[in-house]
Structure 1
Amino acid sequence: MTALPVEHAAVLEHLVDVRPYRHRHGTVFDVGTVAGHPGHRVALVQTGTGATAAATLTERAQAEFDPEAMVFAGIAGGLREWFVIGDVVVATKVYSYQGGRSEDDKFLVRPSAWSVAHRLDQEARRLPRGNAWHSFLPDKGEADPPMAYFEAIAVGDAVLDSRVSELAQRLHESYNDAVAVDMESSGFAHAAHLGDRVQAVSVRGISDFADGQKSTVDGKGGQLLAARNAAAFAIALITALEPVGQNPASEDGPRAGGPSIRNTNKAAGNARVGQQVGVNFGSLKGFR
């Protein structure tokens, strides 16, 4: 799942043998396989902005393809000073921040929240140990490759571009563990949750700092960089999942799939160690 054209194009760069799949109600999915991983089939769609559209098309994709896993790959505004444009956040928790009760002198928050699927969380957390997902980055030779973090994000149908607005203050006071904001992940997470057994995770690249400079940063390519890094993360995770038709266990024991890990990360003092991960959209059951 993606929202913007730049996000859709970033994922499409990783797919081959792509063809359109037209849903009976008009939605057009791009269906292909991950380049170099023919067992991993992906159905890709652009939802447009907002949680409602994301929820509707997530449910539609889920019903049509019965996927092994669902991933929302897109951009987000960062709420922490330690971010660098292009860093990636794997949403361990998704808040819907707009729910609440408005009284005469205050707003009482009543949030909804969804946690990442455990299996996807476990696979994702292995990949940063040796920077395994970096092989999927479009610019592998860059001097400072992006970091990936596992944190909570906050979601609502508003573009946040201020650190002092009423909304910014509410997020700081009531959702202070959220490190980024976007507009679609809550709808995606809610629809996936209602799908019962579907595995789902939202992966977001930091495209700006929600500090009044969004237009300037976007103009310098922040959205493109963030979208491509999030897509790389998502595709790397997808390839860590079992391909179509593969038995999860063999006579020799449990599966040991995914990219090999070389643990070379080091941190001194109180340095923050980012976790870098790739993403996989999983196999598609019942694909027609």
Structure 2
Amino acid sequence: MTTLPTAVICTPLNVEYAAVADLLGHRPHTTETRGGSIYELHEFRARRTSWRLVLALTGRRNEETSAAVERAVQEWAPQVLMLVGVAGGLRESRVGDVVAATKVYGYEGGQDTDLGWLQRPDALPTSHALDQLAQQVSREGFWIWRAEPDADAPPPVHHRPIASGSKVVTGSSSYTADRIRESFGDAYAIDMEGFGAMAALRRSPSVQATVVRGVSDVLDDKDKDADRLTQPMAARRAAAFALALLDRFDPEPADAPAAAAPPAPVYNIGAQGPGATSTAGAIGNGATGQVVQQPYRYYEGP
């Protein structure tokens, strides 16, 4: 049983998983299979402590991600969980930027009536502690050197909401894009897994959780050939920012093994002399008692 604090990084796509693993280097690690899911375990040495860092591949879409995150929390009981990967950019975000989510909108909830679609927004906040830390990490700017050692300056980091749903949105004039602008106008990125991840953590308030996304495209500029270049870059930047958060996070002390119970006290009680009597007993966990009777021999001396 490890005494290290545990963090879990979940990635929906293989390119995102590979980005995190690559930044962790080629240090020894292990894999474990639990409930059919394969997890990769690393020891991540941060500024204040070392972490047991668990990598998990969740798969795409909110439903699948929600189930995978809930399972990871049950299996590993982490203090920190981050969903890390790529996303489409909204508003002023551009390819290569990072979005550290302050909350995640579920943009698909609503009521379909004869008068039209009535939006019913749903939003889940990310961890306040991680949001505060993200602000500090982005101000310092050193995080980019983990991903790009020769970078002159870090890309912009947007501390804004993310809109999340099951649709692949490929045009800024599409019906879904219009709905997002009308009802979720402050969102800076769009993904397909963030809301599911945060929804899975509603029943785990002790887990500090957030979503970190690298912008790999914008709605009017989706191209599969371009994705082969921009997705690895965006995933690597998101991974570098997430690891910088973990590097600065101050964990709660891990549960130490229970101390052994102190030995039960031993008392010798007796009576000596002509006609003497003694009553003895023992009380408490593990206590034992014994009464010994011996003939009394009186010694008068020479």
Asked if 1 retains the 8 angstrom alpha-carbon contact of 2:162 and 2:187, the reply is: yes
Residues 7/104 of structure 1: CA separation in 2 closer, same or farther (3 Å cut) = same
Alpha-carbon distance in structure 2 between the residues aligned to 1:218 and 1:165: 21
Asked if 2 retains the 8 angstrom alpha-carbon contact of 1:78 and 1:210, the reply is: yes
Asked if 2 retains the 8 angstrom alpha-carbon contact of 1:59 and 1:195, the reply is: no
Alpha-carbon distance in structure 1 between the residues aligned to 2:222 and 2:68: 31
1:159 deviation in Å? 0.9
TM-score, L = length of structure 1? 0.80
- SS of alignment partner, residue 45 of structure 1: strand
The residue correspondences of 1:25-104 to structure 2 (distance < 5 A) are 25-34=35-44, 39-80=50-91, 82-104=92-114
TM-score, L = length of structure 2? 0.76
Asked if 2 retains the 8 angstrom alpha-carbon contact of 1:14 and 1:34, the reply is: no
Asked if 2 retains the 8 angstrom alpha-carbon contact of 1:14 and 1:35, the reply is: no
Larger of the two Rg values belongs to structure: 2
- SS of alignment partner, residue 143 of structure 2: helix
Which string of whole-angstrom CA distances, capped at 9 and with x for unpartnered residues, describes residues 90-112 of structure 1?
A: 01010001110001231111121
- SS of alignment partner, residue 166 of structure 2: coil
Partner of 2:230: 222
Alpha-carbon distance in structure 2 between the residues aligned to 1:129 and 1:188: 27
1:234 equivalent in alignment to 2:242: yes
1:14 deviation in Å? 2.7
Which string of whole-angstrom CA distances, capped at 9 and with x for unpartnered residues, describes residues 44-71 of structure 1?
A: 1111110011111111111111111100
The residue correspondences of 1:123-138 to structure 2 (distance < 5 A) are 123-137=133-147
The residue correspondences of 1:257-276 to structure 2 (distance < 5 A) are none
Asked if 1 retains the 8 angstrom alpha-carbon contact of 2:94 and 2:218, the reply is: no
Alpha-carbon distance in structure 2 between the residues aligned to 1:185 and 1:128: 21
Alpha-carbon distance in structure 2 between the residues aligned to 1:216 and 1:177: 29
Count of matched residue positions in the alignment of Structure 1 and Structure 2: 243
- SS of alignment partner, residue 201 of structure 2: helix
The residue correspondences of 1:135-174 to structure 2 (distance < 5 A) are 135-137=145-147, 139-143=148-152, 145-174=154-183
* Structural RMSD (CA): 1.9
1:243 deviation in Å? 5.5
Larger RCO (CA under 8 A, 6+ residues apart): 1
Which string of whole-angstrom CA distances, capped at 9 and with x for unpartnered residues, describes residues 125-159 of structure 1?
A: 1112221312322x221345322110011000111
Instruction: Read off the aligned partner of 1:87 and give its amino acid letter.
Output: D
1:118 equivalent in alignment to 2:121: no
- SS of alignment partner, residue 57 of structure 2: coil
Instruction: Read off the aligned partner of 1:127 and give its amino acid letter.
Output: V
